[in-house]
Amino acid sequence: MREPKRVAVLSSGGGTNLQALIARFNPAPAPAARVELVIGGRAGIAALQRAARAGVPAVVLDAREIGVDALAARMLDELERHRIDIVVLAGWLQLIPLEVVRRYEGRMLNIHPALLPAFGGKGMYGIRVHRAVLESGVRVSGATVHHVTDRYDEGSIVLQWPVPVLPGDTPEALALRVLAVEHRILPLAVEALASGDHASASPAGEVCFDLLTARVPPDSSVRALLAEPGSTGE
């Protein structure tokens, strides 16, 4: 039987996407992948508590403390020590050093809370993304999983899912609706990559969701994740 691919999740905050990945992969008997390492961008974040509760090893690599120059070596060291096959950025706010991007080319994914290439790029993160979406007047937003390159939000797109912008939306309400979808598509994309099915999950490939009938998780599931003790809901 094939060994599950060893996944590292990098998070700088609430870690609800991390939780969705752990829920999908870690309890299963023979999953395609397993979360084996969490790298936190700063100490004390909820993602680290989630890792501890799930029994997943975690380390903190805060570039402000160790310095940007040391970050690449420390990160590669941790990824190699834990024999990581796939790296997932889920709310990671620091720039990924070029050496790490190169080492994991084609094996590093990021989740972005909008439909790239719109509303992406430097400075477009967190609630700012949803604010910009609302200010633009578009009626559809969504979530995007894409490969990581050395430029913000520019790697090839693996999966996208639309989310309606509703009348009277606030950035916070839209963020919650998008987050529920993120929790669904990120595990799908990781599973596709881990099972070698990646080509079929490419935009030109055969994986296509029936957007008319597809059910996205109700808000209650994202609220349950956000309500976990210690969650900052970032």
CA distance 218 to 14: 19
**Measured from the CB of residue 62, what is the shortest distance to ligand GRF in angstroms?**
16
Instruction: Please give the residues from 112 up to 131 whose contact with ligand GRF meets the rule CB under 6 A.
Output: 112-113
**Measured from the CB of residue 156, what is the shortest distance to ligand GRF in angstroms?**
17
Is 36 one of the binding residues for ligand GRF (CB under 6 A)?
no
| Residues 113 and 185: beta-carbon distance below 8 Å | no
Site string for ligand GRF, 165-194 (x = CB under 6 A): --------------x--x------------
**Measured from the CB of residue 111, what is the shortest distance to ligand GRF in angstroms?**
4
> Considering only residues 4, 7, 10, 13, which one is a binding residue for ligand GRF as defined by CB under 6 A?
13
Mark the segment that binds ligand GRF (CB under 6 A) among 16-24, 27-35, 145-153, 159-167. Answer: 16-24
**Measured from the CB of residue 129, what is the shortest distance to ligand GRF in angstroms?**
8
Q: Which amino acids are annotated catalytic?
A: 112
> Considering only residues 63, 88, 109, 111, which one is a binding residue for ligand GRF as defined by CB under 6 A?
111
CA distance 61 to 68: 10
Instruction: Choose between 13 and 155: whose C-beta lies nearer to ligand GRF.
Output: 13
What angle do the packed helices 16-25 and 46-54 form, to 10 degrees? Answer: 20
Main-chain dihedrals φ then ψ at residue 86, nearest 5 degrees: -130, 135
Instruction: Please give the residues from 87 up to 106 whose contact with ligand GRF meets the rule CB under 6 A.
Output: 90-91
Q: Nearest Cα to 167, choosing from 139, 191, 143?
A: 139
- Sheet containing strand 5-11, strands side by side: 58-60, 33-40, 5-11, 86-89, 108-112, 140-147, 157-164
- Give me 26's structure tokens: 């870690």
Main-chain dihedrals φ then ψ at residue 153, nearest 5 degrees: 60, 25
For residue 226, the SS3 value is: helix
Mark the segment that binds ligand GRF (CB under 6 A) among 21-29, 94-102, 109-117, 210-218. Answer: 109-117
Q: Under the rule (CB under 6 A), what is the footprint of ligand GRF?
A: 11, 13-18, 90-91, 111-113, 179, 182, 234
